[in-house]
Amino acid sequence: MSKILVTGGTGYIGSHTVVELQNAGYDVIIVDNLDNSSIRILDQITRITGKRPEFVELDLCLEDKVKNLINNHPEITGLIHFAAHKAVGESVEKPLKYYRNNFFSLINLLTAYADRKINFVFSSSCTVYGQPDVLPVTEEAPVKKAESPYGNTKQIAEEILSETASKNKNYNIISLRYFNPVGAHESAFIGELPIGVPQNLVPFITQSAIGKRGPITVYGNDYDTPDGSCIRDYIHVVDLAKAHIAALRHLETKENEDNYDIYNIGTGKGSSVLEVIKAFEESTGVKLNYTIGERRQGDIEKVWGDVSKAEKELNWKAELDLNEMMRSAWAWENYIAKNPIQ
C-alpha cells in the first residue's frame, strides 16, 4: 500500500485523517513541529488503529531539512498538507506570523517534489470565498478579497498550487475547501486540543461547559441571519478526514486532463452560533452560560457550501449531524479532563 506524508499530522484534522488513512491500509509518515499539538497524540492514534505512525519532528519552513526528508523517503506517493497556522483572530493581530509559516512551508514542499511525481491534497478553506453573493456557495464562485490574513494565505496558496501544477505535471493536486470542522473521534481518544484560549467556537463551548473557561461570547447578534448570529457550515471532523482519503484515491485512479482541482467539503447546511449552542445543550443535557458581544473583526456573516461536486466526483458525503458533532466534542472534553494530554 502507498505511503502517505501527512504534515501537521498530530493536529486536530491531521490526527483524524491519519486514523482514517491507517484504517484504509495506508502507511503514514507524520511531520509536525508540535507548535500547536502534542507528541502524545501518537499514542492516542495507536490506541485507535493498533499501528503507530512514523513521526518526524520538523519545521517545514526550513528548506534544506524538507528536501532531506523527501530525499530520504522516495517511497512516499501521496502528501496531505495540513501544517499551517489557522486562527482567524490571531492572523489579524499577527499577519506576518501567518504569511511566513503558511507560505514557506508550502513552497518548500513543492520545491522538494519538483522532480518527482506526487499526489498532493491541500488543506484549503471556505474563507477564500469571503462573504459569497449567492448561497450555498459553489466552487465556481469568485474568490473575493480576504477578510483576514489567514484567509488570504489560503487564497494565495491556491494560486501557487494552480500555477505550479500548470507548469509541472509531476504535481497532481486537489485543494479541499472545507468549512468548519468540529467534533471528535467516536473513541474520544483524539479531538480538538487548542493550546491556550480556544479561537474556535466548539472547543470554547466545551471548555466553558466543563468549567475551564468563563461564559461564551457570541460575537454579534445583529447580522442579517434568522437569529442575528453568524452562520457557518459545521462538519464533523471524521467526515472531513474521510474526504481526504476520497480525494487521495481520486488522484490515484483518475486520468487527468488537468492536474489541479478544487472541492467544497461541508454538509451543505448552515447553522448559526446560537443554534450550535442549543444543539450542544440538547445533545448533552448541559446548560451553557453565554453573553452577546460586539462583532469580531475578520468574521463574515454567513456561509455554507454546495458540496454536490465532491459527492459526485469523489464519491464522498458527510454523514454525521450537528448533534453528533456536539456529543463527540463533549465526550472528548471529558476524556482529556481525566486524562490530560498536553
The upper half-sphere exposure of residue 102, i.e. CA atoms within 13 Å in the direction of its Cβ, equals 26
The residue written with cell numbers 465556481 in the block is: 140
Catalytic annotation, pick one of 113, 150, 171, 219: 150
Dist. CA 122–CA 25, nearest whole Å? 21
Task: Examine the residue annotation and report whether 263 is marked as an active-site residue of this protein.
Answer: no
DSSP state of 83: -
Grid cell listed for 136: 450555498
Return all residues near 65 (Cβ < 8 A) that are at least 6 apart: 58, 59
CA of 22: how far to CAs of 27, 57, 246, 252, in Å?
6, 20, 14, 17
| DSSP H helical ranges for 50-199 | 63-72, 88-93, 95-112, 149-167
Residue 291: closest CA among 208, 224, 212: 208
Cα torsion through 140, 219, 192, 92, rounded to 10: 70
Residues carrying an active site annotation: 150
